[in-house]
Amino acid sequence: MPGGPALPTTPLSPPPPASYQPGTTPFLGSPGIPTTPYTGPPVATGPGMGQVPAWAPTVAPQPTYPPTRRFGIYGEFLFLRPRNGEVAYAIPIDGPVPPVLGNAVQIGRTAVVDGEYTPGFRVGFDAAFSDSAYLAGQYTFLRASSSDSIEIAPPDVIRALVTHPLTTNAATDVLTANASLDIDLDAIDGDYRSLLLNGTNYEVEWLAGVRYANLDQQFSANFTDIGTTTVNTNVEFEGIGPRLGLDAQRRSCNHNWLVYGRGVAHFLAGEFDSNYSQTDAAGVPVVMTNWESSRIVPVLDLEFGVGWAGPGGRLRITTGYLISAWFNTVLVSDYIEAVQQNRFVNASDTLTFDGLVSRLEWRF
C-alpha cells in the first residue's frame, strides 16, 4: 500500500541457472535449463506476490493434435506396376529350321509381354469405439494390362516359345506374332487397430485382421502366317487369411507436415486354378489341360511417404511409395514351362507390385 511498510520478498531458491538470460522465456529441456517444471515456493515480487520467478522453466508450446476421430473415410489413387510376371512368347530366328537344340540362331529381340504402370484405386473407412482403438475396412482394385507384337520379313521367321514342343515344327514358324497379359487384383481387408505408442508428435498403431484376395493372370498369344495358332493360359488364385502390421507417423512440431510408414504381412490360404489351351492354324484344339495347387501365399506390403494435415487434423493428404510382394505364387511363365516339360513340381515364384500411392482422407 502507498506509504505502508515495504513488502518482504523471498530470495530465489534455487538460484537461476547461469545460462538464463533476463527477459527470455526458457522452456523445459533448453540448454542449461532444468528438465522439470519449477516446484519451489512462490516468490514475492512486490505487487505480484505469489508469482513463479521469471527464470523458472515453463512447458514449450506443443503442436495442435488432431481431435480423436470417431469415423473416417478415405480414397487412394494407385499407380502400380507388376514385376517378375513377364512372359517371353516368341523369338526371331534365321529361317525355318527344325526345332532341334542348336539349330535355330536368334537374330533379334526376344518378344516379351510385361506389366506396365497402371492406375487403380483403394477405398476404406474406420470407426472408433474408444479413444485408442477402432475397426477399419478397405477394398483394393487393380487391372494391369499390357500387350506386345513382333513381325519379320522372310526368309527369317518367328518361332513360338509358349506352344507345346510336340506341336512345334518348321511349318509352324510364322512371320507375325502378338501377345497380351492381364493381371487383375481384388482384395478386401478388415482390421482391428489400436494405439501401441504415443508421444507429443508421433504415434504407432498395431493392427490385426483378415484379407480376402483374388489374383487373376490371363495370357493370350497369336502366331499368324496362313492361319493363326493361339495359346491361352489363365492362372487364378483365391485365398483368405490373417494379416498383422504396424502403422507409424511422425508430425512436425511447428508445421502440419508429417512422415509415415506402414508394414503389413498377410498369410493367405487358398488355391491356384490354372489352365492351358492351344489351337492350331485350322482352329482345332491340340492341347488342353488344367492344374490345381493348394498352398499358403505370404504377402508383404511396405509403404512409406510424406503428408499434410489440415487445421484440426480432419483433412489429410499423403503421398508415398508402395512395395507389395506375393511369395509362393504360380506365374503364367512357370505354368507354361510346367506344361511344356510335363513336370508340375516347384512351380513357384514371387510376383511384386510397386509404385505411387496417394491418399485423401477426411476424419469426423
Q: Is the domain 71-363 a CATH 3.30.700.30 member?
A: no
User: Tell me, what's the pLDDT at 63?
Assistant: 46
| 64-118 tens-digit pLDDT | 444 456 899 999 999 999 999 999 999 999 876 666 555 678 888 999 999 999 9
Please report the pLDDT score of residue 226 as a whole number.
82
Question: What is the chain's mean pLDDT, rounded?
Answer: 84
Instruction: Report CA-CA distances (Å) from 242 to 188, 212, 301, 324.
Output: 12, 9, 14, 16
Residue 31: pLDDT over 80 = no
Please state whether the peptide bond connecting residue 17 to the residue before it is cis, i.e. omega within 30 degrees of 0: no
Note the pLDDT tens digit of each residue in 233-292: 999 999 999 999 999 999 887 778 999 999 999 999 999 999 999 998 888 899 999 999
* Domain layout of the chain by residue ranges: 1-61, 71-363
